[in-house]
Amino acid sequence: MKHALLALGVVLPLLSACGGENQRLVQNDEYGDWRNGRARNRPQGATAGIVVFGVDKDREAREAAATGGGSGLSVNAYLWRATLDTLSFMPLASADPFGGTIITEWYSPPSANGERFRAQAYVLGRQLRSDGVRVQVFRQTLDRGQWVDSPVSPSTNADLEDKVLARARELRSQSASR
Amino acid sequence: MRKILLGTTAVVGAALLAPAVAVAQEAPTVRIGGFFRAYYGNTQQSGRNSTQPSTLATNVSGATSNLQQQATGSAESAGNIARLSKNDFSTDAEVHVFVNGKTANGLSYGAVIEIAFNQQEGRNIVQQRASTGKTTASIDEYYAFIASPTFGQIRFGDEDGPVGGLMNSGVVTNFGTGGIYGDRESFVSRQANVRTTTAPGSLGDNTKIIYLSPQFFGFDFGASFAFNYNEGEDTGCSSNQSSGWCDSAYAFTGASNFGIAAAGPNMSVRRNEYQAALRWRGSLAGVGLAVTGGYVGAGAARELTVQGTQARLYNNLNVFQVGAQATAYGLTVGAQYEHGDSNFFWGNTLRGDRPMDQFFTGASYTVGPFTIGGNYVIQTVEGGSRSSFSAAAANGGSSTGLVANPGTPGTGNGTNAALMRRIGWGVGGNYRLAPGLDLVAEYSSYTVAERGRDLDPSNPGIQDRNVAKVFILGTRLAF
């Protein structure tokens, strides 16, 4: 008996590495937890209980599913929409919801002839965080018939980021109160 | 055996730790979960009214040690009897801490710490003003784990084994409080051990190392190893001297007393326990199926006479198990059979004792928020020991040191060699008020019977049958 068990003990772990597509990790909630150890029908393992420390991935996923609605966003939906809203006064050149980049065309404000702007925004992840969006504004001025790169006021980028965040907060609170 | 098992897990561990495909790292989360439950219980049990003195102290004034048994001739020894009511409430809770994280190479890791509040079954009164409550906090289970989709999972700590609760099939307990394996024992007192069942989880959560494989083609398997029956941090030695109370004692004077695990000190002769289970899960024509075969084996500590003679008086623990269950349309039916050398509480039997056989079957039906079910268990096992240890026999050259018991004269059980039968059943249901919040009701009955043996020493005469019937009504909240 012992020898048979030993053989199993040695061979089976090695065999298990060869399962390929028919193989998967057995989740913690697929094991019995005898008697009082488990409250029945509660999520187990990685999703059990209430998060007291760390990032609640399940809640994030739920919220992303709720707000993204299966649109295939791979970045935070609030930040993405807030960025689009904030930059919507400029014509869009491209928007990639998977990479999280938004690039606008050059835009000349009606009030300021001889000056044009272009913006690039990056939504950096799935989390709604203050450092989750980066906005870069480029400015050119018309100098003797040529558009020439000019410096942007250092606060412009930060101001736009703040506007995006404020809008994201608005969207978030709207969806939470629904 | 143990070297090879440990070696195997070391290989698997090395494989687990090897870098795999890059997966986003996740910082650990800490979660709190647990349950609270409160029940009303109505208990009908043989021997609830005692007529023979319990010999326990009747008062705590002047006590100098825990409710000690009083000497023959003392007032308590002569006349301490009691009558127990059928009605009682029982509460219990556990708080669980879950830590989960993921490394950059895709390994999941974490720990589970389960804090329980039912450390003491009985009262502990050391002195008149010094006692600890029955609700003293203690650890139920705690372990760390590391898991990889390719190589499976390793758990290390105080946890049930693959056969002892993790991978069993056919043990249907998902209704009421679990039927015959449920919370009934919160209300039943211990005479004749009419509350003790040989449930999978009773095998124990002694400190062990567990390997659980990934599932492939519907199969997964698990194996575990533990050095002994004990759990927790320290050595268990109750004084400066080496004694049988130390966790790792493999031969000690008095080992013959611990074939059946002593509940309080968590003391048993089980040593070098290994478990292995193979499980298949799948579905055929919409019916969910699960089948498990398992084995648990363990050696036993030896009795040691004061002259230094070792006696191998115990059989190895040696139990096979097979179970199966099927689920469709909310209906689950299952059955499990176990056979091998074990007493009624997963303890080592004495050499010469008969093996244990146990058959369990159960069914449950879930419709909407309701679940109802029932289960039944029948076990035959060695009854009163047919032999006992004699140091003189061991010193005289007997390898087991066992001598036959005289038995009880005039009962037809001349050598105490009778078969003990343990039969139980339970029916119950629960209604889900909200996710995690259940109302439960349950009725269960458990009978221990052995021809010619007195199973109720609290009352005069020979009662060869002892019954406990419990009705439970209550609520249970999981969070």
Name the nearest CA neighbour of B425 among B373, B472, B475, B380: B373
CATH class of domain segment(s) B2-54+72-124+132-237+244-478? mainly beta
Q: Do B165 and A40 touch (CB under 8 A)?
A: no
Domain that holds residue A123: 73-177
Is the pLDDT reported for residue A103 higher than 80? yes
Domain-located, residue A103:
yes
Averaged pLDDT of chain B = 87
Interface mutation target, options A34, A57, A127, chain B, most CBs of B under 10 Å: A34
Position B11 pLDDT exceeds 70: no
Could you tell me if residue A47 is inside a domain? no
CA distance B101 to chain A (A): 8
Mean pLDDT of B388-403: 91
Helix (H, G, I), strand (E, B) or coil at A66: helix
Long-range contacts (CB closer than 8 Å, 24 or more residues apart) made by B8-13:
B8/A9, B8/A10, B8/A13, B8/B211, B9/B154, B9/B209, B9/B211, B9/B225, B11/A13, B12/A13, B12/B151, B12/B152, B12/B154, B12/B211, B13/B146, B13/B154
- What pLDDT does B227 receive? 96
- The string of pLDDT tens digits covering residues A57-100 is 767 766 666 555 555 567 888 899 999 999 988 998 888 888 88
| Cα–Cα dist A73/B331, whole Å | 40
**Among residues B81, B87, B89, which one has the least CA distance to residue B47?**
B81
Shortest Cα distance from B290 to chain A (angstroms)? 12
User: pLDDT for B102-121, tens place per residue?
Assistant: 898 889 999 999 999 988 88
> For residue B391, what is the DSSP state?
H
> What percentage of chain B exceeds 90 in pLDDT?
58
- Percent of chain B scored above 70 by pLDDT? 88
Angstrom distance (rounded) from CA B449 to CA B194? 10
Cβ contact, residue pair B29, A51, below 8 Å? yes
Residues of A in contact with B479 (CB under 8 A): 39, 42, 49-50
On whether residue A144 sits in a domain, the answer given is yes
pLDDT at residue A38 is higher than 60? no
Please check the confidence at residue A10 and state whether its pLDDT lies above 70. no
Residues of B in contact with A126 (CB under 8 A): none
The verdict on a CB contact (< 8 Å) between B4 and A9 is: yes
Question: Is residue A169 in a domain?
Answer: yes
B75 vs B160 pLDDT, higher one: B160
Report the pLDDT averaged over residues B353-360. Answer: 95
Structure confidence at residue B415 (pLDDT): 59
pLDDT of residue B20: 42
**What is residue A25's predicted lDDT score, i.e. its pLDDT?**
85
Q: Given CB atoms, is B138 within the 8 Å cutoff of chain A?
A: no
The CATH number of the domain where A78 resides is what?
Answer: 3.30.530
- Minimal Cβ distance to A17: which of B98, B114, B151: B151
pLDDT band at B21 (very low <50, low <70, confident <90, very high): very low
What digits encode the pLDDT tens for the residues A111-162? 888 889 999 999 988 888 888 899 999 999 988 888 899 888 888 999 999 9
A contact residues 24-53, partner B, Cβ 8 Å cutoff: 24-26, 28, 31-37, 39-42, 45-46, 48-53
Please say if the pLDDT value at position B56 is more than 80: no
Cβ(B289)–Cβ(B282) below 8 Å: yes
Q: What is the mean pLDDT of residues B305-311?
A: 92
Please check whether residue A24 lies inside any domain of the structure: no
- Of B9-13, B358-362, B370-374, which gets the smallest average pLDDT? B9-13
User: pTM of the entire structure?
Assistant: 0.75
d(CA A64, CA A111): 39
In a domain, A50, yes or no: no
* Smallest Cα distance from B267 to chain A, Å: 20
* Packing angle, helices A77-86 and A57-68, rounded to 10: 50
Q: Has residue A63 been placed in a domain?
A: no
Alpha-carbon torsion B361, B121, B265, B404, what sign?
A: negative
Could you tell me the pLDDT band of residue A16, with boundaries at 50, 70 and 90?
A: low
Structure confidence by residue, pLDDT tens digits, B413-456: 555 667 899 999 999 999 999 878 899 999 999 999 988 888 88
Q: What is the DSSP string of A104-158?
A: EPPB--TT-TTEEEEEEEEE--SS--TTSEEEEEEEEEEETTEEEEEPPPTHHHH
Average of per-residue pLDDT across B52-81: 68
B297 and chain A in contact, CB less than 8 A:
yes
CA dist., res. A39 & res. B438, Å (int): 10
**Averaged pLDDT, B155-173:** 93
Q: Above 0.85 for ipTM, yes or no?
A: no
Instruction: Using the CB atoms, write b or e for A62-100: b if 16+ within 10 Å.
Output: ebbeebbeeeebebbbbbbbbbbebbeebeeeebebeeb
User: What is the tally of structural domains in chain A?
Assistant: 1
Q: Which whole-number Å values give the CA distances from B388 to A70, B258, B309, in the listed order?
A: 71, 12, 16
Record: contact B276-A16, CB cut-off 8 A: no
Q: What are phi and psi of B341, to 5 degrees?
A: -80, 105
Q: What spatial distance separates the first Cα and last Cα of chain A, rounded to whole Å?
A: 63
**Chain A residues closer than 8 Å to B200 by CB:** 32, 34
* Mean pLDDT lowest among A16-25, A61-70, B307-316, B393-402: A61-70
Digit-coded pLDDT (tens) for B318-332: 999 999 999 999 999
The better pLDDT of the pair B148, A17 is held by B148
